Amino acid sequence: MGKAEILQQIKDAEEKVRATTKEAEERRKQLQAEGKKKALERIETAEAALRKDSDSRLAEAISRIERQKKALLDEGVRKADALASNARQRMGKAKEFVLTEFERAADA
């Protein structure tokens, strides 16, 4: 085997190493890109699930607050009606009392 042949084999081996290294680097970049894509998809899926859960909880809380608000307003209306009814019942006695006191004052 001569020098020229050995040098050619070395060049061939170096070229093969460069080609293999280039392929490996391209494969690494491809795998890295796929990994990033999958990670982003998982993040988006998790965020969507979180948003859905948050929206559901918020809707539930709003519904619960609305029910409590309605109950409080209904109770307030019942109390106001009771006070108005009580006031109407007492109005007759109050008129009678005022007239009696006025008559007493006028007679004195």
This prediction's pTM: 0.54
Check whether 20 has a pLDDT greater than 70: yes
Amino acid at 65: I
Q: What mean pLDDT comes out for the span 71-79?
A: 96
Tokens representing 92? Answer: 């007759």
pLDDT at position 81 over 90: yes
State pLDDT tens for residues 46-63.
Answer: 999 999 999 999 999 999
Number of domains into which the chain is organized: 1
Instruction: Tell me the residue range of the domain where 62 lies.
Output: 1-108
For the chain, the three-class secondary structure string (H helix, E strand, C coil) is: CCHHHHHHHHHHHHHHHHHHHHHHHHHHHHHHHHHHHHHHHHHHHHHHHHHHHHHHHHHHHHHHHHHHHHHHHHHHHHHHHHHHHHHHHHHHHHHHHHHHHHHHHHHC
* pLDDT for the residue 108: 64
Higher pLDDT, 92 or 49: 49
